[in-house]
Amino acid sequence: MLNRISDIEKEIELVLVRNTEDLENFRLKYLSKKGIISDLFEDFRNVAPADKKEVGQLLNGLKQAALDKYNSLRSELADTDDSLSGIDNTRPGYPFATGSRHPISIVRNEIIDIFSRIGFTVSEGPEIEDDDHVFTKLNFAAEHPARDMQDTFYISRISAEDSNPGDILLRTHTSSVQVRVMQGQKPPIRTISPGRVFRNEAISARAHCIFHQVEGLYIDENVSFADLRQTLLFFAREMFGQDAQIRLRPSYFPFTEPSAEMDVSCSICAGKGCNVCKYTGWLEILGCGMVHPNVLEACGIDSRKYTGFAFGMGIERQAMLKYHVNDLRLYFENDIRFLEQFRSAF
DSSP state, residue 40: H
CATH, range 103-339 = 3.30.930.10
> What are the backbone dihedrals phi and psi of residue 206, each rounded to the nearest 5 degrees, phi first?
-110, -5
Handedness of CA 336, 338, 339, 340 (dihedral sign): positive
pLDDT at residue number 85: 56
Q: Give the other-Cβ count within 10 Å of 102's Cβ.
A: 16
**Is 91 in a helix, a strand, or coil?**
coil
pLDDT at residue number 96: 67
Nearest residue to 255 (alpha-carbon basis) of 131, 129, 163, 140: 140
Provide the residue type at 275 as one letter: N
| Alpha carbon distances (Å) from 143 to 155, 173, 291 | 19, 18, 21
Domain map (residue ranges) of the chain: 2-78, 103-339
Stated as kind and residue range, the H or E segment containing 76 is helix 52-79
pLDDT at residue number 161: 54
Residue 27 near residue 74 (C-beta atoms within 8 A)? no
Peptide bond into 258 cis (omega under 30): yes
pLDDT at residue number 236: 93
pLDDT at residue number 247: 94
Residues of the chain with pLDDT under 70: 79-89, 94-97, 149-150, 157-165, 276, 343-346
Residue 173 near residue 149 (C-beta atoms within 8 A)? no
Query: Which residues fall within 8 angstroms of residue 68, CB to CB, at 6 or more apart?
Result: none
Q: Can you tell me the distance from the alpha carbon of 318 to that of 329, in angstroms, rounded to the nearest whole number?
A: 15
